[in-house]
Amino acid sequence: MSDADLIPAWEDGQLRPLDKLDVHRRGLRHLAISVFVTDGDAVLLQRRALGKYHTPGLWANTCCTHPHWGEPAEDCARRRLGEELGIVGVLPEWRSRVEYRADVGGGLIEHELVDIFLVRAARDLGLAPNPAEVMDTEWMGLAELARDTEARPERYTPWLRIYMRDHATGIFAAPVGA
């Protein structure tokens, strides 16, 4: 097992580095990050690669992952933007921390305590999607995304549906003073 297979999760009330697949099989609460790259009122979505161990082929927010043991959330967000989409040199802005629990199929449960980040960028920021992670990308207006996640939920990951339904205002509202 590599360090990449270990994620920070709670077991017996203590945060520990545990095997990622075991954490999801047992539905243990664990740390995660999610990033939304926006250009005005549009958000960059990714369609998860068909080889992903859960929710393959579904549309998700720009990127998400679990931090390595001891890795700060913001560092993880920057790392994963590069690994999944080739996006570098951006500054993720912390927006919120949310917790959710969702069945992601195949006997796996995501029970995440998620630090959510927003990146403001132009659509021409330059993408180099990693085909092992991402099969497609698309910019979509926030209003359209909110409507579509309700109308066609089967196209989207459970967490994106939860974010749009329950947390969109906290994620996408302009910060005070902006």
Q: Which of 76, 84, 110, 112 is catalytic?
A: 112
Q: Which of 153, 127, 143 is nearest to 60 (CA)?
A: 153
End-to-end CA distance of the chain: 45
pLDDT along the chain (178 residues), means of 10: 79 95 96 97 97 96 96 97 97 96 95 98 95 98 96 98 95 62
Q: What is the pLDDT of residue 5?
A: 82
Classify each residue of 10-39 as buried b or exposed e, where b means 16 or more C-beta atoms within 10 Å of its C-beta.
beeeeeeebebeebbeeebbbbbbbbbbbe
Sequence spans of domains, the chain: 3-169
Q: What is the pLDDT of residue 128?
A: 97
Q: Which of 63, 64, 84, 110 is catalytic?
A: 64
Confirm whether 138 is a catalytic residue. Answer: no
Confirm whether 11 is a catalytic residue. Answer: no
| Residue 24 DSSP one-character state | H
Asked: is 3-169 a CATH 3.40.50.300 domain? The reply is: no
How many Å apart are CA 76 and CA 88, to the nearest integer?
12
What backbone torsions phi and psi does residue 97 show, to the nearest 5 degrees?
A: -125, 125
Q: What is the pLDDT of residue 141?
A: 96
Q: Which of 37, 34, 31, 131 is nearest to 89 (CA)?
A: 37
What backbone torsions phi and psi does residue 45 show, to the nearest 5 degrees?
A: -105, 155
